Structure 1
Amino acid sequence: MEIGSFLIVFFTVRYIRNSLQTAERFPEWDRMLTIVQYAATALLVSDVFLETDFTKWFWHLLLIGLVGAAYLLKDFRPVRNVWLAVGPFILISLFGDVVELISEDFYKSIKDIIDIAGIFAFIWLIATWLSSQKQQKALEKERLKRQQEEEQNRIIASQNAMLEQIVAERTAELTRQKEELEQTLMELKATQDQLIQREKMASLGELTAGIAHEIQNPLNFVNNFSEVSVELIEELKEERQKADRDPELEDEILTDITQNLQKITHHGKRADSIVKGMLQHSRASTHEREPIDINNLADEYLRLAYHGLRASDKSFNATMLTDFDDKLGRVSVVPQDMGRVLLNLFTNAFYATEQKRKTGLADYQPTVQVMTRRIDSENIEIRVRDNGCGIPAPVLTKIYQPFFTTKPTGQGTGLGLSLSYDIVTKGHGGELIVDTEEGKFTEFTIRLPT
């Protein structure tokens, strides 16, 4: 029984120290528990060597003291279950020793019962101990699990806070970028409007030289016929002062003056139409369609484009071939817009032939052809073909892109064909088709619904 008491004291003390972690949390109690372990060892040695029954009462005191401390002391409350495990063994051991002290005969008669009860109490102790260890492991596992969950929650909360901060920073950055992009878009739109206006003014500049040449011809006729008419009037006055007036000569002079005045009127109207065309081309488009003669419009802008290039380069020369369909009739278009399209195509055609001429090809004659055709009752087409250098295949898909140009810097805005494409397709519901072979020809076809 003493060995059992020693084992119980030893493992109970160890259980209490480990469970409560007395070395770190309760150093005073840890020292006392260590003394209890030494005392139990000393009692065991006394039992072995002294062979006295007196020490068994010290075992009872030690056990009752441990269980009482575990049950009564506040610091030991977490290990109160030690009473459930050790209590039955203490009670049976104490009961046996008290009965033996009072009546040895009676003790002998129930000794077997007390021994069996002691065995069961010891088994109960072990079972309770194992169960307690299992529960303690489960609780420790649960505590660790809860601790891990708390750590994970803390990490998640930290990550969420970090993500919220990142999202807030990213949102602020995107907002800033959005504002910058909106500002950039506004600036690009303003720049685009300026470039479009620049393209219009560039085409107007190309017209100026051609118009100067075109308007000079009728003005020369007006001046010449005016001078001749003045001379004829003087001649008529002189004839009337003669005594032998010749009525037939007077009638002939009057007829010549009348014809001169008719020619002056004709060429004056021609100059007036040129000026009106220039003003119409320079002003902003109203997008109002008018039924006009496409043949006259194409012929006029062809000559203006040609003389415009001649004014800037006296060495430039090209053959102009026209094949206009007399049955074309009047077509409803926006005159200034369609004029810009034709001027751009004619200017590009003359430019392409001039670039090919500068390569020094023998027997090369720059030629630009303009043809109009009525396809059917609802559609017409205008073809502008040149025998210039053609368009390289790699850039063919880019020619209608805004700001794309193959001309040297300063000679093109890259908006001519882009604006022309928009005017034909979006403004008039037509088509602008290109057919080309590098080094041989380029042909643009405008198809318009009538």
Structure 2
Amino acid sequence: MLLFGLFLLLSTLHLAFFIYNPAQRANLYFTLYTLAVATSFCCTGFLDEVQRSDVRLGLDILSYVALQTGGVLAVHALYCLFSVRRTAVYYGLWLVNGLSLALLTYGHGLSWYPTVAFMVLVSAEQLRLTVGAMQQTRRAVGIIAVGFAIALVLLVLFGFLARFHQPVLQMELLSVPVHTLLTFPAFLSPVLAISLFLARQFALDSRLLKIKLNQVRLLSEQTLTQQREKQVLLAQQNEMLEQQVQQRTAALQRTLLHLQTTQDQLVQSEKMASLGELTAGIAHEIQNPLNFVNNFADVAVELLLELKEGPVQALPAPDKEYAHELAGELAQTLEKIQTHGHRADAIVRGMLEHSRAGTGQRELTNLNALCDEYLHLAYHGLRAKDPTFSATLTTDFEHNMGVIELVPQDIGRVLLNLFNNAFYAVQMRKQQETKEYRPEVRVKTRRTANTVEVVVRDNGTGIPASVVEKIYQPFFTTKPAGEGTGLGLSLSYDIITKIHRGTLRVDTKEGQYTKFTVSLPVGQSSEVPAEHSIR
């Protein structure tokens, strides 16, 4: 009767949960389950008060029917609670329930064994569903699992003692029969565990509802705030539109200025191209008379040597000595003519080399020597324009560099452009800062198994972060109009990436330094496609 009262109370509690939250249909099935079990214990409690045997038999059968059917309803409630699709196991329990009740009713000498066996199956299925829910990280499902585990163990122990050690069940422990100590918690632990779990869910739902109410209140406040902000925005709309018109006008003016600057740069680029052609023509014109000067200087030296060995020997001693003195002075003069003639010839050859288009043919080249040559060429070129300029040239060349297969004219253009930019940057910073600043340009080469690198670093003005991404774009330059075409780094990037399949990286900090790293792969084919040759 105590179990009857407890299950009736729990049935009322789950019914209240269902009425409060009809969406949770598991509470309805738990209500039916606890009500059925309460009915079972009610029938069992009144058996001793009934004298008629047929009524006692009917109450006894009703008790088992209610108990077993309640167990299947509990399984159904768990399927609903854990949102599990009902399988053949569920329908099999209904079938076994019918068979068990038939054996209980019409079987002779089986007593309550079919009911105990059926309740063990029901507890096992309940435990399986609960463990499955735990594996899906369902929170607090362990409470139900513990309740079903206790029920399963106690029912199995009860069935074992009833079958093999029945006198033990009649023994009393703490003035309570052993069978009561086993059956009481076996029936009560699952339903208490389920009630605790659902009570916890009810509390969480209530807390969630409070949170949602707070959110609704906050949303209402936000809506009022947004309405006020809209009023303020409407008041500021005219002013904002006027500012936008001014900004767009300024943007158009900047665009126009940029177009004008680009036009100036294009004009300057054409001038530079024409200057290159003019330089090549002048160099060709100078080459011919220069060849005559060099050739006749060589012939004059030979004639002077014949003169000293021939006619001069026949002169009288005083005249002979004077003639030797004049011949010596003339030989020194011719030697200087030869030296400066060959120097002028080298200058002309260099002008022709820089003005003519590259062949695009890869050659085995000493990269260290190429870097050193163009470094000094760029430095002396700047000093020719500004004799007061001076900078420290620091080189760190790889000793085991060897020869590299590349297009020397194209790589020379890249190096010359990088060196010119570096010297321009340190020159600009020298003009801006005090005498304590020391301009320096560093060149380093390194070779690995697959690549060679040339690093050009200066301690000049650096590149602003806002334009770093644009430096490889054609016609983009940070120099004033007339001092840069905006094509140097663009052509250099194409030479390195498209022709030599390498990379050109920049690392800079405004006002401190700029570092360009040219990385070229080693072992490419010796031929370059004609369409990739940059003239």
What TM-score, normalized by structure 2, do the two folds share?
0.38
Query: Could you say which structure has the larger radius of gyration?
Result: 1
What TM-score, normalized by structure 1, do the two folds share?
0.44
